Structure 1
């Protein structure tokens, strides 16, 4: 009987340890995937989207977004990055920034789009970063083209 218990302990202990380690490893790395930005004097916490899959997913299928929360898209070079609201349930402000974190364009109140075909929004000036915030945030906080955003 003792041998069976010892054998069971030898068998199950590593499995339990592996499950525990897998759970710990699955926790999001908050400091790596989050940007703290100062926008119009307000601290904004934004999820970073820098991989192709994160950029493609964006805020699709999200039902809520905190008041001073958003998503921060990072590109290697400045270009005319176009955005659409396909499968996005939250109306958003889209804010394009150049390499110096200067606001170069803003699309306010982009409506959700659950249709097959959705309009796309493109900046008038090349940008390197795009910040998505709740619709109305830019107006509420007096954000305008030419303003600088600070990355903490």
Structure 2
């Protein structure tokens, strides 16, 4: 009887150890999967929060004149004092599994592609370059859609899964190819127009 209890206890301890290991290493994401990503478009403008972002078509809720997005999707024309600096087609990571995986399974991004991470609330968050194959810009955006921090992050050194944490305050985090922020002139204080349905 005592022997069965010891075997059962050892079994529980081993199961807990495996569960902790799976959580810490992210293996649970490989087992469970991340599901389908929603997609959308993010536009960064040099306007303040009181000026509506440029829109490609006027709507009932916007007063801004319509803009034309050029084929390269950057350097959009000026609209009512605001100038769209760049537009990014994004996959939206809004579940814990999607945020954990991030761009780790992505080999590369197009010049105006990225991922938008959506958190439940604004706070201090740390991002790492877990198993990344390329360098990125990590752009933190607060609940008011204002950029608070921009990091230019390098992929981890050969043989390491990640080497540094990039921290900032925000509710949203935009990851794009490294150099995108410099190329478009995006900086702290700029305004971000999020995809429809993202809150």
Range into which the TM-score falls when normalised by the shorter chain: 0.7 to 0.9
Which residue number corresponds to residue 127 of structure 1?
170
Q: Distance in 2 between matches of 1:105 and 1:128?
A: 12
Higher relative contact order (CA 8 A, sep 6+): 1
Q: Distance in 1 between matches of 2:150 and 2:188?
A: 7
User: 1:1-150 counterparts in 2 under 5 A?
Assistant: 33-40=38-45, 41=84, 42-108=86-152, 110-113=153-156, 114=158, 115-123=160-168, 126-150=169-193
How big is the alpha-carbon RMSD for the aligned residues of Structure 1 and Structure 2?
1.7
Structure 1, unpaired ranges of 5+:
1-27
Aligned length: 120
Does structure 1 conserve the Cα–Cα contact (< 8 Å) formed by 2:131 and 2:162?
no
Q: Distance in 1 between matches of 2:95 and 2:162?
A: 24
Q: Hey, which of these two has a bigger chunk of helix by percent?
A: 1
* Deviation of the 1:61 alpha carbon: 3.0
Q: Distance in 2 between matches of 1:100 and 1:62?
A: 29
User: Runs in 1 of length 4+ with deviation above 3 angstroms?
Assistant: none
* Deviation of the 1:117 alpha carbon: 4.9
Structure 1 length-normalised TM: 0.74
Matched position secondary structure for 1:129: strand
